[in-house]
Chains A and B, each alone.
Chain A
């Protein structure tokens, strides 16, 4: 069923809403929810009046520049800051020795040996990746700090460099002596009986090696903070762009030997996060120490080269010895694989990546027998952080590659094989082999929408036409899941001693004395429009126009509307963030209704909230109280209320999703609650003379359940698609043997610009989530849909020119050309054993 979108904003873009048979279980009556309400954030942002951390100034502030290691692996023999301190205008320095005295190493999540790694805010005794901060200098101007950094003398003794995970596994060079091994974590996940499935299979398809490459979302605003220290109260204030302050504080407070409440995180506008602003705690601890040591506010701005070199890559994962069990009719019954993850020099948020993928262990498919032998190692590369699609994207790419390679080798149609093996709509909610529950979705229907948008029926005709122009045309599908609302208990599957489980998010709503509704969020938006969507939800609950709802910008510890896991990450705002907003708004609503009933002398059931008034349903006009009246009574004129009636019109609510416990032995459990999906389809043309790939047609179909603001959802789909296109065709963090990052700036690390973009068509479905407070699933990460379908399309294009197998998630022209020149060595990767 196709309906033309009613809103002119979506004109020109095909959008489809498919009605489900059952009405959503827990949604509100939709007034503003579901409307493409324009964003209120825009007003300040289009005038350049946003406040990003670097816009904040403090009198007497100093600027910090980090002295960074030029070696990928070396012992630090000495650091001499004398000359730097002599430079006029330099306020002070900080070195690793001081850090080791004044702080404790950061909390590590892994079991031994990985858990024994000592990670300090500055390198202590040894550097383990190029660009690692070794010392910090603070000066009166940015330029002086930079000059002073050049005067810090560091003596290094180079050590052997590890830039390959397989090499690292040998433990010949060990990066962390305390651990004694480069292995951060390893374990086997075994569900069902894959050996049986392989024995019974009609075909066993083997793939020796698949490689998911290292890249990141490179948010346009780099990391940074301005930190103030209050000597009187021993409190720090960080004006920053940390996207997960709850967790940041958990790392920083023990390291600084202080209480969590002594760290006030204030974020305002943030220029993109995408998971790359989660592990900022080392640099922030340096700033905290310097602010205290120097007795002045200190500020650090990360530059682009620093971000690429030393902050936050996505996980790089190599898959070995894949074996897939396939029946004669194309049903895939299981697979096994050995996964080797490279987390760079320090784990930090890792080894969570070693389990997060299990949220989507079977991908979108119904096979029941899966074994993953997973190992994560350190190398002398930049540490990783949860880049958009974190760990699921890598695994989903594996499942999509499996589907396409099996289809290709066995002569099956990739569309039919997907529809055959997809989890079916009638199976929802679907429990996966490892206990996760896919809440809702009709994958086949979404695929059909994508195929329709891309006019898949005309592919063969277009292939012929392209061939006449000397181009190889290919068509590919990428199905991907956007799992959202994490159960942090999954961390105990990696380390049973961890005291983490569940999830939470907080928000507060109040009705002020003049009738203003004020909302504070625990989340930390970096462009997702939380202010607007929160206002929509509150407006619907309280019965007022969204314009009457003021949502405070950003996160502030002192708002006290955050919880331990607060932040914006893991596709969960629509569930936990809005769940908290809903909860708080409903508590305020309850107060308002009770108060109005008391004032209007009517039963509670007779009161309705609408148009900014509390009034008697179908009552006389005078029986209506504007919000202002309610606010005034409670705040300033409350004497007449009876003693046992104490409405506050001010409530904080914690949304705590319920997961149940996980089974650490079987490594099963409900690891996440919602599963949005995206189905991507791409048509590419490959120039066989150069390997250049052009995307000539592209469709992305999204189903994230109830869309609170369809306009914002579509924007997220555009953005996720673009990140994926960049990753699929050009964005790659490449190292040489010395551990030098060869793609450290936007010349060499090419991201899509306006002219690089293909025509993008989008479609949408709504399969409301039965478990989410508003039927809305978290979305936005996109799961790398473009990476999957572009690789598939390239492989399809190359079928006519050597039939190479796409084995890497990034295929720039030189790699495509290699596949054209020597398809055989890629094909040697794959073998089929048939009964």
Chain B
């Protein structure tokens, strides 16, 4: 019987590596990733789950890590922005962000990349509308999304509306 505990040891895979953590039940996943594991690429931009700067993949799906408790990730497979580029070799998506000037301050960028990467896994040739829909949960205050959408469409080899 699973009696409730205020903390527990959890084990999960993050960017392909297995980790074990002792965490309080109240610890948000985003804080476990940033503070306990030192992976600070995932960011916090709000406190109500709107902005998406904290987006990671949980078992292959994009989720907001500020709306998950770390303990919920027990046994799961997590991917963060740090896991995209193996050995510093940027992915086509990351390169496209650079080529299309899809970032300015870079704070929303990890979340954007994770949402976009998830989209491209499911739909390798998204239209502009597909991309906007997939990025609806990621707020950017610098770019107006114009170049971000352009970059993701370009990765899929698609054409941007004028």
Direct contact of A and B (CB under 8 A): yes
Chain A: residues with CB nearer than 8 A to chain B?
9, 12-14, 36, 38-39, 41-52, 54-55, 57, 142-143, 217-222, 269-272, 274, 301, 303-305, 526-529, 711-712, 714-716, 718-719, 721-723, 745-747, 751-755, 757, 759-761
Does B106 lie within 8 Å of A305, measured CB to CB?
A: no
Q: Scoring B residues 9 to 21 as 1 if CB is less than 8 Å from chain A, else 0, what string do you get?
A: 0000000000000
Given the interface contacts A272-B141, A304-B48, A745-B47, does A220 sit within 8 Å of B161 by beta carbon? Answer: no
- Write the residues of chain B forming the contact surface with A, with a CB cutoff of 8 angstroms: 24, 26-27, 31, 34-35, 38-48, 50-51, 53, 80-82, 84-85, 88, 90, 94, 97-101, 103-110, 113, 131-133, 135-150, 160-162
Kindly provide the distance from the CB of B126 to the nearest chain A CB, expressed in whole angstroms: 12
Minimum CB–CB distance for A520 against chain B, Å: 20
In the complex, the answer to whether B99 meets A757 with C-beta atoms within 8 Å is: no
The interface residues of chain A lying within 8 Å CB-to-CB of B50 are 745-747
Interface residues of B: mostly helix, strand, loop or mixed? Answer: loop
Taken together as a complex, chains A and B put the C-alpha atoms of A14 and B27 apart, in Å, by 48
Contacts of B105 in A (CB 8 A): 219-221, 269-272, 526-527
Residue among B106, B108, B136 making CB contact with A41, cutoff 8 Å:
B106
Instruction: Chain B residues near A722: list those with CB within 8 A.
Output: 141, 143-145
Given contacts A46-B90, A220-B107, is CB(A757)–CB(B47) below 8 Å? no
Contact between B43 and A271, CB atoms less than 8 A apart: yes
Q: Which residues of B contact A747 (CB under 8 A)?
A: 48, 50
Contact B139 A746 (CB under 8 A): yes
CA distance A495 to B34 in the complex (A): 47
CB distance from B149 to the nearest CB of A (A): 7
How close is A511's CB to chain B, nearest CB, in angstroms? 28
Q: For B135, list chain A residues within 8 Å (CB).
A: 753-754
Known contacts A220-B139, A718-B146, A759-B162; 8 additional CB pairs below 8 A are: A9-B100, A46-B90, A47-B81, A48-B110, A50-B106, A57-B38, A754-B145, A759-B161
A529 touches B139 (CB 8 A): no
26 contacts between A and B (CB under 8 A): A12-B161, A38-B98, A41-B106, A42-B106, A47-B81, A47-B94, A48-B40, A48-B81, A50-B107, A221-B105, A271-B43, A271-B108, A272-B141, A272-B142, A304-B45, A526-B105, A718-B144, A722-B143, A745-B47, A745-B48, A751-B139, A753-B135, A754-B132, A755-B133, A757-B132, A759-B162
- Which residues from A are CB-within-8-Å of B133? 754-755
Asked if A219 meets B141 with Cβ closer than 8 Å, knowing A527-B106, A745-B48, the reply is yes
Bound complex: CA of A122 vs CA of B84, how far in Å? 43
Compute how far the CA of A55 lies from the CA of B141 in the bound complex, rounded to whole angstroms: 20
Smallest Cβ-Cβ distance to A721: which chain B residue: B144
| Bound complex: CA A622 to CA B81 (Å) | 48
Shortest beta-carbon distance from B46 to chain A in Å: 4
A218 contacts across to B, CB distance below 8 A: 141
A57 / chain B contacts, CB cutoff of 8 Å: 38
User: Closest 9 CB pairs between A and B?
Assistant: A48-B41, A271-B107, A527-B105, A45-B106, A527-B104, A722-B144, A746-B50, A48-B81, A718-B144
Q: From B84, which residue of chain A is reached at the shortest CB distance?
A: A47
Complex: chain A residue closest to B31, CB-CB = A142
Contact of B45 among A271, A526, A719, A760 (CB under 8 A): A271
Known contacts: A218-B141, A304-B46. The answer to whether A272 contacts B107 by CB under 8 A is yes
| Chain B: minimal CB distance from A90 (Å) | 16
Of B24, B27, B132, B142, which one neighbours A719 at CB under 8 angstroms? B142
How many whole Å from A415's CB to the nearest CB in chain B? 24
